Amino acid sequence: MSALPRTMSPDSTSELLPRRIAVLGFARSGRALAEALVERGVSVMVADAKEEKDLPGVEELRRRGVEFFLGGSGTDFLEGADWLAISPGVPLTAPPVEAARERGIPVLAEVEIAFRIAEAESDGENRWIAITGTNGKSTTTAWIAEILKRAGRPVALAGNIGSPISGFLETRGPRDFVCELSSFQLEAIDRFRPHVAVLTNITPDHLDRYADFSEYARAKARIFENQEPVDFAVINADDPAASAIDVSSRRVLFSRRGRPETRGAAAWLENGEVFWGEGSSRRSVVAASELALPGAHNLENAMAALATAECLGTPAAATLDTLTRFEGLPHRTQLVASGGGVNWVDDSKGTNVDETAKSLEGFPDGSVILILGGRDKHGDFAALAGLVGKRARLVLTIGEAAGTIEAALAGKANVERRVTMEQAVARAREVAKPGDTVLLSPACASFDQYKNFEQRGRHFAALARAAAAAR
């Protein structure tokens, strides 16, 4: 079972790109795209609300002819633009985006433009693997990329995981683009078409940006919309919202509940073993206990990675080696310190209720001191109450959402407010006993006190190491 490179349109890059492109947002993806466009002779106008002193790389690109419109929210940068390219953090409701649409200027995501350039310059010999989902997409993306690397493939690990796709356009030639895509990025695709599209799950998230859950789910489902019957859609059969999506490509399922009811290919858990099968065939791949990363959520991530590898015809030895040896990613249920019989686990990437729930599932009852809180993303904290009441001996709330969380857990868990991370870690150190795990899995965004979840995780890890050493 494999997906071979497709024959794409032989358009040259010069024929593919218009004369002038406006870029809104000069963070990582905006800067990488601007550099790629200038290299290909496109006139580029960049707008960003930040001042030049806060944006590295401005002067270098200005010397290469890029025009900059910084520190404001005007629309002058759209003058003469043929396209507007937007960074992932820019909502489609932003005034410059609405102004572009009023002028009839196509609005495209960085991933869309980078895809078009890469395909034109490789004669369609790239393989595109795209992963989205509310939870698990970063780990799944990295796991897939590592499998392909161990199989000897040239891999570009790109997208929302940290490196913009445009950043890989400096080197021309076919490769496997393994891309993590957020709903924000998928909102502004047009022709983007992956060989293999993976949907890990869809649970309520980013409801501060979307009108409701159905709108958020539709954004996720766009990952499949340009696929054709020769492509693959890898979908979590256990997730109601994901499994309800219709696709025109070959449907491949994975499930923790046993073999899915499908005539097509699937990965599933049965009697503690992960299986792969298609039609009447089936084979055991690996014992769940031998997977490199523990927990129910990582079992799902592993099966999604396995299914993707099979769709791409990857040698079984490379797949098995990576499933059992993959080291995982920082800030995702990562053990960062241990001392006095107490483990300290950083799950700062647990920015929504479902992620926190799946993290908690991996611990014994009454063994967790849980740090919750940050900026509320309109999550249903009450949905955590039952599980938190079982797993957590104490909940320490921090940040803006502390009061909301306390109200949702009232009567279900032992909760104390500690406001800051320093205070929460100090209290956890006081009460932790051998056999406990102090778990940072906030179920909230980090932006009330930190630049991003990585900074929050690093801060927790540093405090945890000091606390563990003191014990």
Rounded CA-CA distance 71/54 in Å is 10
For residue 373, what pLDDT is reported?
A: 97
Q: Tell me the two tokens of residue 39.
A: 């290299």
| Side-chain-side CA neighbours of residue 115 (13 Å) | 26
Which pLDDT belongs to residue 334?
Answer: 86
Domain ranges of the chain: 13-111, 114-325, 334-470
Longest Cα–Cα distance in the chain: 66
DSSP H or E run through 396: strand 392-398
Concatenated DSSP letters for 156-203? Answer: EEEETTSS-GGGGTTS-S--EEEEE--HHHHTT-SS---SEEEE----
Q: How many CA atoms, within 13 angstroms, populate the side-chain half-sphere of residue 26? A: 27
pLDDT of residue 7: 39
Q: Which CATH architecture has domain 114-325?
A: 3-Layer(aba) Sandwich (3.40)
Q: Which residues pair with 235 in a beta bridge?
A: 199, 253
Dist CA 7 CA 4 (whole Å)? 9
Is residue 297 part of the annotated active site? The answer reads no
Three-state DSSP at 206 gives: coil
How large is the C-alpha radius of gyration of the chain? 23
Q: In the prediction, which pLDDT does 8 show?
A: 43
Q: Which of 181, 183, 136 is nearest to 161 (CA)?
A: 181
CATH topology of domain 13-111: Rossmann fold (3.40.50)
Q: Which of 126, 135, 201, 206 is catalytic?
A: 206
236 is a catalytic site residue: no
Of 137, 331, 349, 459, the catalytic one is 137
CATH number for domain 334-470, candidates 3.20.20.100, 3.30.479.10, 3.40.50.1010, 3.90.190.20: 3.90.190.20
- What's residue 355's pLDDT? 87
Q: Is 71 left (phi over 0), alpha (psi -120 to 50) or beta?
A: left
Q: How far apart are CA 289 and CA 281, in angstroms?
A: 23
Give 292's contacts (C-beta < 8 A, 6+ positions apart). 322, 323, 324, 325, 326, 327, 328
Q: Which residue has the tokens 């991530």?
A: 301
Euclidean distance between the first and the last CA atom of the chain, given in angstroms as a whole number: 53
Q: Is 343 a catalytic residue?
A: no
For residue 12, the model assigns a pLDDT of 60
Residue 2 is predicted with a pLDDT of: 60
Strand order in the sheet with 127-132: 155-159, 176-180, 127-132, 196-199, 232-236, 250-255, 265-270, 273-278, 281-287
Q: What is the pLDDT along the chain (471 residues), one digit of tens a residue?
A: 665 554 344 456 667 899 999 999 998 899 999 999 999 999 999 999 999 999 999 999 999 999 999 998 699 999 999 999 998 888 889 999 999 999 999 999 999 999 999 999 987 789 999 999 998 999 999 999 999 999 999 999 999 886 899 999 988 778 999 999 999 999 999 999 999 999 999 988 777 778 899 999 999 999 999 999 999 999 999 999 999 999 999 999 999 999 998 889 999 999 999 999 999 999 999 999 999 988 888 999 999 999 999 999 999 999 999 999 998 888 888 889 999 999 999 999 999 998 899 889 878 899 999 999 999 998 899 999 999 999 999 999 999 999 999 999 999 999 999 999 999 999 999 999 999 999 999 999 999 999 999 999 999 999 999 999 986
Full-prediction pTM beyond 0.85? no
Per-residue model confidence (pLDDT) at position 123: 76
In whole angstroms, give the CA distance from residue 437 to residue 460: 14
